[in-house]
Structure 1
Amino acid sequence: MDKAGVAMTYKFGDPSSSDILVCLKTREGRPEWFHCHSSILVQKSKFFADQLSRVDSTNCIEIPCTKFGVLQVAIALSCEEITQSCIQYLEAVPWEDKEEEEILKAVSGLGPLAMPILARIQPVDINATKNVFLAAIRFATSTGGPCPPFADDLKVSAREQVEYMLVEDEDMPLVTADGEVKSEVRMSLSKMFSKFEKELGSLLLESDLTAAAEDIVLQSLSDLEWMCNILPKMDLLKDFVSNWIDVSDYVLKVFQDKKFDTTMWGAKLKLIEVAGKVLDAVGYGNVIFPAPARVQLLKFWLSYVRKMKPLLDSKGSEDVGFAYKMDEDLCQSIEGAIISLVLALPSNDQADIMADWIQTEQVRYPDLSEAFEVWCYRTKSAKRRLVVGFNEIGNATISL
């Protein structure tokens, strides 16, 4: 009978045909004995082949078992077939985070044999990262079309992926600087603003405001707020602010229409929150716009915030369950941004805003006292400089 035929008749652990004992010593020092067959061990394991080829080899091999896991043991005993089987298995199944480092450590010395596992975790190239980011942006900012099952959950997941990539992915600075990526994001932003305007137009055409219609507008504002939050990481916040300034006049006309005087409180508060982010960006110089654009932005939203703050407070006083009041952080943030905006304007524009603020009956919010004091000081200083300048010119003339 040939060797293959004999090997097929062997049975692991059969003492009657076994010609060698393998002793595995556990970490606790307890021995475990196995009846094995030297011909099979030599054929399947380089470790056992080396052990049994020694001149001083015996019919008992002792192995200290200090490693756990089939793959680790297979590598330690140079069992190539078992190692390959383990790699095929690990490549096909999901890993837990805590297992990844252990697996990588185990296969680190296997060379090409470990490529199926290493391929799962190797860094992707820039184009692959860009394509993933673009796909996530398109879904996260989708504004129409048929909605697949779980569309809202998928959109949330897409947005989380975009946020994660912008913060954690080391390749993102190269991706966000890409012209195609910027163009795609700008296009998505433009579509979102266009959709928002159309929804507001539809509101005006409806005879009765429905909860569903209000929810649509509120959702669009939430979508725009999300874009406003991520665009600074892509150096595209200026695009958002520019679009916001362009639509402000129309948006405020709709929101201040008489038919909505006693409705849309949630949308009105969200509108103020998004406007606050824009005022903050412009007021503190995160985006740079010429003075006329800043004046326009300020005049639009200063009057609206001044009108809505006491109205929302009054509603809250009347109804304890009213959930749409401006909280303290929001109030302070907007007030600070407005003061900063005012102080950065040309003095004549500051004078117009201060005159309007003093004359209005609702001067409590936003409180521009600080800006007014600075404006007064600057005005006096400017007059003194002017007088000093005239005196110097006069003295120079006389001396001539």
Structure 2
Amino acid sequence: MMWAASARPKMGHRATSDVVVRLRTPEGRDEWLYCHAAVLAAGSGYFADRLSDAWPTCQILDSRYCVEVRCPDLDLSSHVNALRLLYAAEPVSRFGVRGALGVLRAAAHLACPRIAAACADYLESAPWDEADEEEILAAVPCLPGAQYDRVLARLRPADPAPATAIFLSAFRHATAAPSAASRELKSAAQEQLEYMLTEDDDAPLLAFDDTDAGNSVKSQVKDCVAGLLSRFSDFTSYALSKKMEPPCCSGESELQQELYSFVSDISWVCQVLGKLEMMKCIAAYWVGASPDVVMAVEASCPGSLCLKTRVKVIEISAKVLEAVAFGNVVLPAEKRCLAVKVWIWFAGITKHLVDRANRGDDSESHNGEDGNHGDAETAAKIGLDSEVWQGLESAITAIVMTLPSNTQAEILSGWLQSEHAAFLDLTEAFDAWCYRSKVARRRLSFLNNINPTP
């Protein structure tokens, strides 16, 4: 039934009402509302049934009918609001998200399709905070009718195709050349991509198997990584060819900042490639480029300058050498030998510098450069993560033990002669070499029978 605005009755107008709605809660709260049967029956299936001739409705003394509605105590005000909305096209938005959700529950209870649709429209378009989402997730799936599914559309898992598209787009930003305009976007892309691939209380958002689609994604990831490594190679070549001016204590040079940006990106890429089981994309490059990387770091960040950059380089090397040590990346013996020689030396110096900075001891110098107070404070805050350091030691130990015995002897001799030998623990490899060397003749005596010496 439709009324003109001036002729439409008003809820609570006792002179014209012919129905009293009694809202009752299990906790004993009561709310009496003077209403109109025509309005209630037109907008609510619940009242249409209760006011029909087929329903025995109680008549009270002043010739009005009484309809009792039982509702939870927390939903009492929502039922009152739903009844008011039957009388006027009030905007649902004035109740806010949680208020509209309460009215939606009341409208579903009272079978008020127009009000329920208005609430659903508002909830579908309004912004939610986390507490709102939890209440919506608890309430909406329990409501009858599929029309409320659209309220939950923004919370449903994304399909693989759009999720993959956003992953690849974000990965391109995360590995792109840095610029002032994209630095914030780059940082956000790296953070969210790592979160997408992390298994915590929930499974990773994406997993790429050996299907055509998965291989296509991995191919594009490889291209992005190759672009990053190519730019880094150009940078190291430039850093080695540029004549460095004496560093000042007032701050880092542009070259130092660029180096830190590169190694931070590569360290992040290692995290992602490890989750995707794609460390092969970077391991062979990093092992081969190890001498140039170390020389570029020494040229750009001599002595105790930029310890945060050295720490990042250690993190990358730990991840790469772990992949080699575990057999995930297979490299020839000469490349494995080169890698451990370079990183034993660099890791020992870096650990010594970090420990010295953490002690606040800047009286020593390295390569003729005085210690830097500001960087010492930074190093003390950053430090070398114990898990990263232990992983590096374990990886180097495992790789050394895969090399020919004479090569092992050469590496261990250099380690023992180093002034920084105490900063990298290779005693396990040393013990194994001693044992194997001593029992070698006995263990391999069968070879003399197979290949007798002429």
Band of TM-score, shorter chain: 0.7 to 0.9
Structure 1 residue corresponding to 2:393, chosen from 335, 340, 345? 335
Q: 1:389 to 1:104 in 2, by over 3 A?
A: closer
Quote how far apart the aligned CAs of 1:174 are: 3.6
For 2:8 and 2:419, locate their aligned partners in 1 and report how far apart those are by CA, in whole Å: 103
How far apart are residue 87 of structure 1 and its match?
A: 0.1
Count of aligned pairs between the two proteins: 390
One-letter amino acid of the structure 2 residue matched with residue 163 of structure 1: E
Q: 1:86 — aligned with what?
A: 119
Q: Does the CA-based 8 Å contact 1:175-1:181 persist in structure 2?
A: no
Tell me the distance in 1 between the aligned counterparts of 2:131 and 2:385: 43
**Where does 1:240-259 land on structure 2 (aligned, <5 Å)?**
240-257=282-299
Contact 2:288 2:335 in 1 (8 A): no
Q: Indicate the SS of the match to 2:440.
A: helix
Report which stretch shifted further, 291-300 or 218-227.
291-300
Map 1:281-296 to 2 at 5 A: 281-296=323-338
CA contact (8 A) 1:7 1:40 kept: no
2:242 corresponds, among 197, 205, 222, to 205
- Secondary structure of the 2:207 match is helix
Partner of 1:188 in structure 2?
224
Counterparts of 1:96-115 in structure 2, within 5 Å, are 96-108=129-141, 109-115=143-149
| Match of residue 397 from structure 1 | none
- CA deviations 1:59-81 (Å, max 9, x no partner) are 01111221521111000000000
Over 3 Å counting, the alpha-carbon distance change for 1:170 and 1:372 in structure 2 is closer
- Number of the residue aligned with 2:80: none
1:11 equivalent in structure 2: 10
C-alpha separation in 2, matches of 1:196 and 1:393: 50
Please state if 1:152 is matched with 2:183. yes
> Shift of the alpha carbon at 1:228?
1.1
1:70-118 CA distance string (max 9 Å, x none): 1110000000000000000000112233433542453334333213213
Aligned to 1:165: 196
Aligned ranges 1:224-303 → 2 under 5 Å: 224-257=266-299, 260=302, 263-303=305-345
* In 2: Cα distance, 1:76 partner to 1:328 partner: 57
Deviations 1:43-63 (A, max 9, x none): 100000000113422301111
Q: Distance in 2 between matches of 1:265 and 1:11?
A: 75
1:215 aligns with 2:257: yes
Partners of 2:49 and 2:55 within 8 A in 1:
no
CA separation in 2, counterparts of 1:75 and 1:343?
A: 71
**Residue 73 of structure 1 pairs with residue 115 of structure 2:** no
Query: How many angstroms apart in 2 are the aligned matches of 1:174 and 1:50?
Result: 56
Superposed CA deviations along residues 232-289 of structure 1, whole A, max 9, x for unmatched, are: 1101112121221232222223334499457444423332332233223323445433
Q: Is there any run of 5+ residues in structure 2 with no aligned partner, and where?
A: 59-64, 76-101, 364-370
Distance 1:44 1:328 in 2: 66
Q: Give the whole-Å Cα distance in 2 for the aligned partners of 1:306 and 1:55.
A: 89
Shift of 1:341: 1.4
Instruction: Tell me what 1:398 maps to.
Output: none
Q: Secondary structure at the match of 2:424?
A: coil
Structure 1 residues 289 and 65: CA distance shift in structure 2, 3 A: same
Equivalent residue, structure 1, for 2:67: 61
Indicate if the aligned counterparts of 2:44 and 2:113 stay in contact, CA closer than 8 A.
yes
Tell me, in whole angstroms, the C-alpha distance in 1 between the residues paired with 2:2 and 2:320.
82
Q: Deviations over 1:294-321 (max 9, x none)?
A: 2221122223334444455556533594
Greater helix percent: which structure?
A: 1
1:225 Cα offset (Å)? 0.8
Percentage of identical aligned residues: 34
Q: CA deviation at 1:194?
A: 2.2
CA distance in 2, matches of 1:188, 1:307: 32
| In 2, Cα distance between equivalents of 1:263 and 1:76 | 70
**2 CA distance for matches of 1:353 and 1:50?**
91
Task: Give how far 1:191 is off.
Answer: 1.9
- Shift, 1:343, TM fit: 1.0
Q: 1:28 to 1:228 in 2, by over 3 A?
A: same
Unpaired runs of at least 5, structure 1: 395-400
Q: Which residue of structure 1 lines up, in the alignment, with residue 27 of structure 2? A: 28
Check conservation: 2:256, 2:301, Cα contact below 8 A. no
User: Which shifted more, 378-387 or 328-337?
Assistant: 328-337
